[in-house]
């Protein structure tokens, strides 16, 4: 990716030479209206003695190619023309107009009589060497959120060295056996007798062992947290931001190892692991900014002279954070970082399937400078540790991500308390639809559907479950989806070539198989892949169902349900989905704005994605969270995220009692 036109032009020539040099294995074809480029590739081909082909858009560049044909004693030229309706061609034409209209465009310079020929035919290397820097107004990816929030660093899996580094990290991890258990006051203590943690991609691989927290450890964690919290709260948002940024940096410094653990313990592909670590880092840095902005000196409110009125936010006390196995680092960290940012202490219960990555993270946080009493880890099952935590009188709030039924249970436990009514921030399931109309671009739909439905083996709450295709183009899109599914690689998630890893455990696979049986009986399976023999794999399935109400609840895995609809029935078809009362994510593919607006009106959703994939919300960019059965809000990674973790305090001071209002003297 280049940020300046000269660098892009030079890159084109460098790549053109590589293509020409690859003959006879490649037969290179070049489509350009730039005379300099045309001359350059002809010269390169002649020098190399290689035959190439030229292409031009029908109706454009005729004079140029006529001149080239004369000058070079004949060239091989193909004229092409895009064919299609107005909706298909408009975006293409707009893009061409934008390109050719740019000030830096060759066409622009060529047609400008004031530009001397010497400038048009200048050596592209000279231009780049004269201005080697990136475009001054385009930030680097790391700076894209401005100076206060450094973007999380990525890993480019197309770079061999980076893949090798990750492979080394996996190998190193495989030589170890990890331990998880109650981490209270910064010390790993013994709970229940340890149980093995096995890899979902291969049940014979023992990744580590976990010991569940016991009641006295829970009591102790509450006591330490309660004692440490007031000082942390009083330290203020700026100081907490400093610590949160240190936590983010600690994660980033350990990216490779964390990805390896995610792959082994949670069955995450490397690409998913990279995204997950980045999201965890983003949460730390984004909430650091909110802590600074919202937990400082407070907001001075308008009022009468003679008194000052200030509104401040403060932490609530001790938060219990209960996180899921599908984002065992990112959601785990997001909940904790939010609660900490707002001035709370945290008791964290990781999902029972993923205690190892949680232990690793908490140790990193403590090592990075967080007072260990402010963050205890209490691994265990929901029925034991989760129940004890949420029923504890020392609790001031719960953040939970998981199933709707579990959320109901926790909510009832909290409501049964004869004490303060505490916040319950729940992020639960979804029954997410994507609506495609006939103006949608087929290739883009297919790409985005495959990623949204089968990425992460469908184990995202945001994942696409119901694809609504218009009758007229449904078959054509389904054909493309089948082909794209066939290209998916299932296998060891730690391998860089794997697209789809296992589902989390045998119970999850069993539920999916039961659902597949129902689809075979009551609906129509359009396409299904084959799962590897070892591990708890469930291979992607494409099935057609009659309507949205075929599904009563979330199907958590790589099963995509297609519903065909007639455009005139949109209201009713979409209404059937909305009637399920979930409201998490919504996808729309269309070139028509009124279609997108209609779908949004008909299907309320926390996160809507238009003409793109519908998973992978980025912290601060797509604040994430649903409504209805999908969650309570506020959105994670959004500007209001911290408010439910905090109390508001208003202080009114009569300053005339101190001798008058000095503000009056400045009028």
80-87 own/partner pairs: CB under 8 Å, 24+ apart: 80/31, 80/55, 80/56, 81/57, 87/439, 87/591, 87/592
Work out how close the CB of 453 gets to a copy of itself at its nearest, in angstroms, rounded to a whole number: 18
Report yes or no: 261 and 357 within 8 Å, Cβ to Cβ.
yes
List 441, 479, 496, 505, residue binding a copy of itself (CB under 8 A): 441
CA distances from 400 to 319, 556, 617 (A): 10, 18, 18
List 415, 489, 506, 579, residue binding a copy of itself (CB under 8 A): 415
Work out how close the CB of 533 gets to a copy of itself at its nearest, in angstroms, rounded to a whole number: 39
Catalytic residue among 276, 279, 461, 544: 461
Between vectors from CA 409 to CA 408 and to CA 411, what angle results, nearest 5°?
65
Report yes or no: 347 and 321 within 8 Å, Cβ to Cβ.
yes
162 counts as catalytic: no
Question: Buried (b) or exposed (e) across 620-659, using 16+ Cβ within 10 A?
Answer: bebbbbbbbbbbbbbbbbbeebbbbbbbeeeeeeeeeeee
Which lies closer to a copy of itself via its Cβ, residue 74 or residue 84?
84
Work out how close the CB of 115 gets to a copy of itself at its nearest, in angstroms, rounded to a whole number: 20
Work out how close the CB of 188 gets to a copy of itself at its nearest, in angstroms, rounded to a whole number: 33
Does 421 sit near a copy of itself (CB under 8 A)? yes
Does 32 sit near a copy of itself (CB under 8 A)? no
CA distances from 138 to 128, 142, 143 (A): 17, 11, 9
**3-class SS string, 172-191:** HHHCCCEEECCEECCEECCC
Which lies closer to a copy of itself via its Cβ, residue 59 or residue 304?
304
Work out how close the CB of 396 gets to a copy of itself at its nearest, in angstroms, rounded to a whole number: 9
Which lies closer to a copy of itself via its Cβ, residue 117 or residue 665?
665
Which lies closer to a copy of itself via its Cβ, residue 217 or residue 323?
323
Q: What is the secondary structure of 383-449 as a DSSP string? A: IIIIHHHHT-TT--EEEEES-HHHHHHHHHHHHT-SS----EEEE----EEEEE-TTS-HHHHHHHH
Q: Between residue 298 and residue 357, which ones bind a copy of itself under the rule CB under 8 A?
A: 299, 301-305, 307, 309, 311, 314, 316
Segment interacting with a copy of itself, rule: CB under 8 A, options 99-107, 113-121, 328-336, 509-517: 99-107
Which lies closer to a copy of itself via its Cβ, residue 154 or residue 186?
154
Kindly give the pairing relationship between strand 53-57 and strand 77-80.
parallel
Q: State residue 371 phi and psi, 5-degree precision.
A: -55, 120
Which lies closer to a copy of itself via its Cβ, residue 363 or residue 612?
612
Q: State residue 461 phi and psi, 5-degree precision.
A: -70, -20
Kindly give the pairing relationship between strand 299-300 and strand 195-199.
unpaired
443 counts as catalytic: no
Does 615 sit near a copy of itself (CB under 8 A)? no
List 29, 48, 92, 171, residue binding a copy of itself (CB under 8 A): 92
Catalytic residue among 276, 292, 352, 427: 427
Report yes or no: 209 and 194 within 8 Å, Cβ to Cβ.
yes
Which lies closer to a copy of itself via its Cβ, residue 104 or residue 177?
104
Q: Rounded distance, CA 457 to CA 464, Å?
A: 11
List 412, 497, 514, 572, residue binding a copy of itself (CB under 8 A): 412
Work out how close the CB of 35 gets to a copy of itself at its nearest, in angstroms, rounded to a whole number: 24
Q: Between residue 222 and residue 281, which ones bind a copy of itself under the rule CB under 8 A?
A: 230, 234
Q: Rounded distance, CA 347 to CA 215, Å?
A: 13
Between vectors from CA 12 to CA 6 and to CA 16, what angle results, nearest 5°?
150
- Count other Cβ atoms within 10 Å, centred on residue 504: 24
Work out how close the CB of 355 gets to a copy of itself at its nearest, in angstroms, rounded to a whole number: 27
List 26, 67, 98, 125, residue binding a copy of itself (CB under 8 A): 98
Work out how close the CB of 650 gets to a copy of itself at its nearest, in angstroms, rounded to a whole number: 5
Which lies closer to a copy of itself via its Cβ, residue 189 or residue 611?
611
Which lies closer to a copy of itself via its Cβ, residue 71 or residue 305?
305
| Nearby residues of 114 by Cβ (< 8 Å), 6 or more positions away | none
List 340, 350, 635, 645, residue binding a copy of itself (CB under 8 A): 635
Angle, helix 237-253 to helix 330-341, in steps of 10 degrees: 160
Q: Between residue 108 and residue 137, which ones bind a copy of itself under the rule CB under 8 A?
A: 135, 137
Which lies closer to a copy of itself via its Cβ, residue 526 or residue 605?
605
Segment interacting with a copy of itself, rule: CB under 8 A, options 93-101, 119-127, 167-175, 567-575: 93-101
List 214, 262, 617, 645, residue binding a copy of itself (CB under 8 A): 617
Work out how close the CB of 455 gets to a copy of itself at its nearest, in angstroms, rounded to a whole number: 16
Segment interacting with a copy of itself, rule: CB under 8 A, options 33-41, 330-338, 347-355, 616-624: 616-624
Q: Between residue 132 and residue 161, which ones bind a copy of itself under the rule CB under 8 A?
A: 135, 137-138, 144-146
Does 192 sit near a copy of itself (CB under 8 A)? no
- Tokens representing 68 are 């080239």
Continuous segment of H or E residues that includes residue 231? helix 215-235
Q: Between residue 545 and residue 604, which ones bind a copy of itself under the rule CB under 8 A?
A: 581, 583, 591, 600-601, 604
Work out how close the CB of 155 gets to a copy of itself at its nearest, in angstroms, rounded to a whole number: 18
CA distances from 102 to 4, 8, 96, 107, 110 (A): 12, 14, 10, 9, 13
By annotation, the residues acting in catalysis are: 427, 461
């Amino acid at each position: 990716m280049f940020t300046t036109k000269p660098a892009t032009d030079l890159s084109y020539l460098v790549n053109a030479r590589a293509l020409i040099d690859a003959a006879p294995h490649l037969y290179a074809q070049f489509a350009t209206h730039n005379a300099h480029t045309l001359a350059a590739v002809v010269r390169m081909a002649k020098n190399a003695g290689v035959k190439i082909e030229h292409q031009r858009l029908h109706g454009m560049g005729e004079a140029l190619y006529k001149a080239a044909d004369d000058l070079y004693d004949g060239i091989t030229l193909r004229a092409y023309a895009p064919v299609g309706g107005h909706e298909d061609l408009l975006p293409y034409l707009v893009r061409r107009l934008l390109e050719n209209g740019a000030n830096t465009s060759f066409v622009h310079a060529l047609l400008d009589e004031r530009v001397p020929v010497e400038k048009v035919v200048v050596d592209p290397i000279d231009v780049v060497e004269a201005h080697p820097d990136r475009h001054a107004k385009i930030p680097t990816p790391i700076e894209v959120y401005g100076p206060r929030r450094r973007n999380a660093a990525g890993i480019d899996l197309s770079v061999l060295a980076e893949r090798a580094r990750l492979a080394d990290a996996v190998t190193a991890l495989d030589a170890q056996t990890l331990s998880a258990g109650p981490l209270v006051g910064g010390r790993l203590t013994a709970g229940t007798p340890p149980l093995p943690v096995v890899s979902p991609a291969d049940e014979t691989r023992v990744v580590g062992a976990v010991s569940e927290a016991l009641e006295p450890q829970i009591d102790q964690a509450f006591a330490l947290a309660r004692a440490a919290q007031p000082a942390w709260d009083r330290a203020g948002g700026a100081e907490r931001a400093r610590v949160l940024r240190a936590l983010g940096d600690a994660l980033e410094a350990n990216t490779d190892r964390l990805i390896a653990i995610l792959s082994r313990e949670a069955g995450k592909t490397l690409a998913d692991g990279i995204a997950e670590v980045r999201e965890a880092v983003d949460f730390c840095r984004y909430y650091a900014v909110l802590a600074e902005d919202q937990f400082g000196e407070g907001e001075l409110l308008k009022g009468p002279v003679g008194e000052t009125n200030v509104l401040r936010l403060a932490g609530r006390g001790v938060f219990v954070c209960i996180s899921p196995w599908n984002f065992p680092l990112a959601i785990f960290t997001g909940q904790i970082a939010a609660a900490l940012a707002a001035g709370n202490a945290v008791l964290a219960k990781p999902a029972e399937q993923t205690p190892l990555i949680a232990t690793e993270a908490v140790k990193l946080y403590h090592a990075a400078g967080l007072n260990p009493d402010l963050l205890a880890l209490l691994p265990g099952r929901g029925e034991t540790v989760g129940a004890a935590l949420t029923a504890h009188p020392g609790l001031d709030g719960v953040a939970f991500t998981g199933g709707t039924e579990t959320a109901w249970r926790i909510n009832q436990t909290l409501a049964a308390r004869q004490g303060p009514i505490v916040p319950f921030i729940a992020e639960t399931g979804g029954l997410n639809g994507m609506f495609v109309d006939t103006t949608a671009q087929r290739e883009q739909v297919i790409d985005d559907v495959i990623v949204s439905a089968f990425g992460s083996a469908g184990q995202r709450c945001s994942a696409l479950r119901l694809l609504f295709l218009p009758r007229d183009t449904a078959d054509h899109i389904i054909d493309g989806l089948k082909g794209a599914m066939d290209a998916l690689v299932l296998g060891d998630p730690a391998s860089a070539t794997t697209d789809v890893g296992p589902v989390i455990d045998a119970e999850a696979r069993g539920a999916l198989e039961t659902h597949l049986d129902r689809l075979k009986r009551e609906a129509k399976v359009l396409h299904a892949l084959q799962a590897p023999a070892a591990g708890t794999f469930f291979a992607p399935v494409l099935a057609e169902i009659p309507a949205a109400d075929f599904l009563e609840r979330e199907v958590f895995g790589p099963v995509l349900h297609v519903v065909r609809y007639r455009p005139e029935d949109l209201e009713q078809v979409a209404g059937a989905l909305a009637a399920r009362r979930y409201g998490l994510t919504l996808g729309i593919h269309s070139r028509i704005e009124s279609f997108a607006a209609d779908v949004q009106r008909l299907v309320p959703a926390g996160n809507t994605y238009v003409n793109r994939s519908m998973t992978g919300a980025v912290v601060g960019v797509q604040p994430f969270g649903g409504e209805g059965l999908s969650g309570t809000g506020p959105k994670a990674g959004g500007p209001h995220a911290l408010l439910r973790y905090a109390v508001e305090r208003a202080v009114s001071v009569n300053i005339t009692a101190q001798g008058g209002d000095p503000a009056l003297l400045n009028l």
